[in-house]
């Protein structure tokens, strides 16, 4: 009986050591990894750079510079997740802002939510400091970028295809005129 208990303990220990361990490695954040076939950080970075590059090639920017003599003020608004997957659209909108800033062709202003937080901070500082930051210097955007991410599924047996479409639209905030529309697609083949 004692031998059986010892063998059971050894077997359980071996099982615990071999099957339940997890290996974790720190990797370069720029490494492209696709585990689930779902929208991920690589899709967000690639699509945002591609879409902003398309947007900055539009005639709207030259027309605005010719008219006003300055770089346009640009706000990235909401991007709606119209897919059935959980997509962190705030990561995508941050990637869009970063790509717009890095283009050097526009000046990016805070999102509506960020602007409200900044106003509250400015008011708090003004109420509690001898020298308060100037108010009323806030820049309003000339253009607002908004859009959506959609997905379409196809599959047979253990093979699935996921088709993502990202549509973005740039609106003139004064006239509500659509000055640019862009779209890009991603397709993923997932085999089990």
- The verdict on pTM exceeding 0.85 is no
The reported pLDDT for the residue numbered 69 is 96
Residues 169-185 as b/e (b if ≥16 CB within 10 A, e otherwise) read bbbbeeeeeebbebeee
Give the tokens for residue 18. Answer: 């071999």
What integer pLDDT is reported at residue 5 of this predicted model?
A: 60
CATH code for the domain defined by 39-114+139-192: 3.40.50
Q: Pull the structure tokens for residue 146.
A: 């908004």
Is residue 137 within 8 A of residue 12, CB to CB? The reply is: no
Domain positions in the chain are 39-114+139-192
**Is the CB of residue 37 less than 8 Å from the CB of residue 162?**
yes
User: Distance between alpha carbon 135 and the CA centroid of its chain, in Å?
Assistant: 31
Q: Which regions of the chain are under pLDDT 50?
A: none
What is the Cα Rg of the chain in Å?
Answer: 25
Per-residue model confidence (pLDDT) at position 123: 77
């Amino acid at each position: 009986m004692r031998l059986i208990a010892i063998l059971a303990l050894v077997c359980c220990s071996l099982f615990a050591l071999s099957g339940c361990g997890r290996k974790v490695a720190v990797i370069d954040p720029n490494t492209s990894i696709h585990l689930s076939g779902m929208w991920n950080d690589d899709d967000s970075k690639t699509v945002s750079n591609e879409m902003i590059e398309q947007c900055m090639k539009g005639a709207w920017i030259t027309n605005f510079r010719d008219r006003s003599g300055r770089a346009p003020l640009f706000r990235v608004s909401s991007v709606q997740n119209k897919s059935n997957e959980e997509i962190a659209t705030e990561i995508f909108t941050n990637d869009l802002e970063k790509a717009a800033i890095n283009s050097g062709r526009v000046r990016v202003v805070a999102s509506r939510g960020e602007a409200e937080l900044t106003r509250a901070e400015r008011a708090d500082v003004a109420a509690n400091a001898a020298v308060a930051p100037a108010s009323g210097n806030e820049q309003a955007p000339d253009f607002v970028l908004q859009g959506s991410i959609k997905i379409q599924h196809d599959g047979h047996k253990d093979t699935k295809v996921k088709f993502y479409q990202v549509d973005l639209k740039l609106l003139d905030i004064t006239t509500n005129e659509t000055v640019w529309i862009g779209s890009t697609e991603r397709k993923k083949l997932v085999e089990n």
